[in-house]
Structure formats: structure tokens, C-alpha cells
Homo-oligomer: A and B are copies of this chain.
Amino acid sequence: MAKKIRLNLFDMNVIGHLAHGIWNHPSDERRRFNELSYWVELAQLAERGKFDAIFLADILGVCDIYQQSRDISVKTGMQVPANDPMLIVPAMAQATTHLSFAVTISTTYEHPFSLARRLSTLDHLTNGRVAWNIVTTAVTSAARNFGLSEVIQHDNRYDIADEFLEVCYKLWEGSWEDDAVVLENGIYADPAKVHEINHQGQYFKVEGPHLCEPSLQRTPVIYQAGNSDRGRKFAARHAECVFVGGTSVDAVRYYAQDIREKAKAYGRDPEQLLMFKGLNVVVGKTAGEARDKFEDYKKYWSAEGALAHFGGSTNLNLADYDPDEIFEYVETVGNQTHTAQYSKFGNKKRTVREVMEAIGDFGGSAGGANMVVGTPIEVADYIQHLVEETGIDGINLAQVTTPGTVKDFIELVLPELQNRGLVKEEYEEGSYRQKLFGGNGRLPDHHPGARFRKVGLAK
């Protein structure tokens, strides 16, 4: 297996990300999430473990669907508070050299002109170590925080996102030519090589020019994380990395293949889209040690936090259902239907009670990411199997405890993966895009952003 598995650390600027309630474990340091030193130490640890990037999720409102209340979320610290994810990056970047940063930002509640400026600034400050995980934000409470009475309809959000990206590409790729910046003879830049973009679209009007000179990557590495059909189409057009959904091997394989096929239809090289899967790992030197850790963590796990999280993610209030009725919310994966997010149980019909038990099962898929518990060899086997069977390219390692999960992974799992030649021993040089894809670090020619490049154009 020549291809190395990519390793991301999956996190969020919160006290409770996916391991609901476990901030309360005595070894856990997540209550320090408001402190810069917490993030700096975590970034340094991730770089010691040769992680490619820290992937930062985000949310713009409190999950308040389950039991029609946000009380469980607030009580358990389930993604409440949710601090801004971008502002922890500069200090982490200052403390590291190779680690990259994938930041989740919504196209629904930002303006492309200021967001493009922020991401260019960050790409400059990090020396090209930035990725943008694009979301369109389905959370209903977020809409009410931004002046809307309800969420913009799903496909329309992606239409807006498509145009949002077009504005960004124009600013990043087309506004400043490569040789616009002169820095000689008192001339900062050649005005003839800096261009307005004059975007006049359905949702945005942006004149430009872009307020930043070209950064190392120009366009940051583009991630996408939506799993709907429209979301996968969006990923197939724009994404260089995709955080795929599904928990069963079949579902993950289907999502990965489907996005690659859609990308091919858009004229892109499907092998230039890297697929990532979220994963929880509890590892011990022996099976018994792993099991003991798992049982210990489980004591702090909040099943109701998981139900509140599920409500926020799906807009379904399971508390409002008859526990004995058959749960009807399903998704189509290939030509099979599965109970959404819990398709690893196959496609058999399940009652609401069974679904709620599955969501609340710490050993199932805590926070929506698969859980693997075992020895280093067992965990490496699981990861190797998952990658080989699904065709994914990397994992987003969620943290059960912080920084315990990462420390354990680095100490126990990483050497086993390295011994098998499955992950790198050292970082490669260059920007994040160069580390992922080689080349000159710019968007490949097949990417839709590339067509907005201006080369040697007159003003």
C-alpha cells in the first residue's frame, strides 16, 4: 500500500465536541478551551504526532431540537459555548511549522469579501497552511441568530454557496497577477496587474480588487463536509478534501465513490479528491487496558448530550416520537435505504427506542464517529481495513479525552501504522496543498477555481 493515510486531528473551539460530557473526566483538559496555551500545546502535540492538520468544526447556534429545548446542550456543554474557530489558528501556527489548519466557516452567514480577506490573511500568516471546510449551516437556531425566521431552504443554500465560492475564486485567483507585487524602486505593486473583479451575481455584488496580495496557496485547500445529494455535488465541484458521512463500510465506500464519480463528471481528476472519515479511538497496551479505559470514560459519557446533538444535526426531536414506532427517517445509500447515521446496523427497520439507544451508545458511534477500542494492533487493523475497503484517504481523529486520546494515539497507534508503512515518518516541505498533492501548491487546472486565473492580462 503505497498511499499514506492522512491524519487529521478533529476538534472544535468548545468544551464538548463529540465525546459528550467527557470534559468532566479528571484527566480531561477541555475546560481550558478558552485559553491560548491549551490550543498551542495541542497543536505542538499534534505536530509531534505528524498529524497533517487540525480540523476545526463549528456551529452558529445552540442545538435545541431534542425536547424542544436547549437545556441539555447548555447543561452538558454539548457544543455550548462555541467560540470562533479561526482565532485560535494564528497562535497555533506560530508554535508549529508543518501542521495545517482546516477551519469550518459557513457560506450562509458570512460575506465573501471579508471572508476571502480573512482566509488570505490566515494563509499569509501560516505560510500556506490553511484549509477552509465549507458548510452551509442547517442548524435552525443559527438562522434565528442571524435575523432569519427559518433556515434558508437546503438546495438554495448550496446555490448561494456556489456563487460565494465564485466570488472567492475571483478574489483569490483573478484579482492580483503573480508578478503584480514589485517592491522595487519605491513601487509596491503595478496597478495594471491588480484587477477589480466586478462580480454581479444573483446573491452578491463585489467590485474588488482583493485587499490581500496573493498568499502562498491563493485559494486555501477546500474541504467540504455535507452528505446530501446536493452537498455531494457541491463537494464534487469544489472540494479537494471531503469529510464523508456514514458509519458502515458500505456507506462510507458509497459516499467516497459517488463523490469521485460526480467529480469526474465535472471534468476533475477523481484521485485528486481526498476522503476523510471521523473516528474515535480508545487504545491500550492490552485489550484489558483498552477496555478499562473505555469503561472509565463511559462513566462520564452523556447519552442525552448525544441525543441533543442528533437533534441539532437532523432537526428531528426523537423525544416527540412514540418509542415503539418504527423510525422512518432513512437515507438512500446506493440502492439501499438505511436509518440515517446508524446504517452500520444494516437496513433493518428499528423502533425509535432502538435508534435512541444506538445514538446514546458510547460504544456505537460516539458523536456520530465510529468507535474502535483495542490494542495498537487491533486499532491499526481497523484503520487499515476501513481504508482498504472504502477507498478513503485519511481519518479525522476525534478526541474522547483531551489530550489523552492524542497522546495515546501517538504513543501506541502511530508506531504501529508507521511500521506497516501506512503513515508518513516525516513531514514533507511546502504548503498544505503541496503536502497533500505535490506540485506547485496552486489549484490544479481541472479545479473550477482555476478558470478565474489571470495571467499577463492587461488591466
When the two chains form the complex, which single residue of B74, B91, B302 contacts A189, counting CB atoms closer than 8 Å? B74
Task: Decide if A121 touches B84 in the complex (CB within 8 Å).
Answer: yes
Per the CB 8 Å criterion, the residue count for chain A at the interface is 75
The verdict on A165 contacting chain B, using a C-beta distance below 8 Å, is no
When the two chains form the complex, which single residue of B86, B121, B141, B144 contacts A83, counting CB atoms closer than 8 Å? B121
Task: Decide if B34 touches A125 in the complex (CB within 8 Å).
Answer: yes
| Given known A87-B90, A94-B40, contact A70–B207 (CB-CB < 8 A) | no
Report how far A359 CA is from B71 CA in the complex, Å. Answer: 59
Identify the interface centre among A37, A88, A191, A211: most chain B CB within 10 Å of its CB.
Answer: A211
| Given known A13-B121, A24-B186, A186-B21, contact A191–B147 (CB-CB < 8 A) | no
Report how far A447 CA is from B310 CA in the complex, Å. Answer: 42
Report how far A69 CA is from B109 CA in the complex, Å. Answer: 32
Identify the interface centre among A88, A124, A148, A190: most chain B CB within 10 Å of its CB.
Answer: A124
Task: Decide if A191 touches B70 in the complex (CB within 8 Å).
Answer: yes
> What is the 8 Å Cβ interface bit string for chain A, positions 49-88, against chain B (1 contact, 0 not)?
0000000000011100000011100111100111110111
The verdict on A93 contacting chain B, using a C-beta distance below 8 Å, is yes
When the two chains form the complex, which single residue of B70, B86, B300 contacts A87, counting CB atoms closer than 8 Å? B86
The verdict on A7 contacting chain B, using a C-beta distance below 8 Å, is no
Number of copies of this protein chain within its complex: 2
When the two chains form the complex, which single residue of B81, B146, B190, B302 contacts A211, counting CB atoms closer than 8 Å? B81
**Complex interface: stretch among A111-119, A364-372, A398-406:** A111-119
The verdict on A15 contacting chain B, using a C-beta distance below 8 Å, is yes
Contacts of A148 on B, CB cut-off 8 Å? 205
Report how far A209 CA is from B189 CA in the complex, Å. Answer: 46
Contacts of A23 on B, CB cut-off 8 Å? 188
The verdict on A2 contacting chain B, using a C-beta distance below 8 Å, is no
Q: How far is the CB of A90 from chain B (nearest CB, A)?
A: 4
Contacts of A40 on B, CB cut-off 8 Å? 94
Contacts of A91 on B, CB cut-off 8 Å? 90-91, 93-94, 125
The verdict on A120 contacting chain B, using a C-beta distance below 8 Å, is yes
Contacts of A36 on B, CB cut-off 8 Å? 90, 93-94, 125-126
The verdict on A429 contacting chain B, using a C-beta distance below 8 Å, is no
Task: Decide if A87 touches B146 in the complex (CB within 8 Å).
Answer: no
Task: Decide if A83 touches B189 in the complex (CB within 8 Å).
Answer: no
The verdict on A206 contacting chain B, using a C-beta distance below 8 Å, is yes
The verdict on A31 contacting chain B, using a C-beta distance below 8 Å, is yes
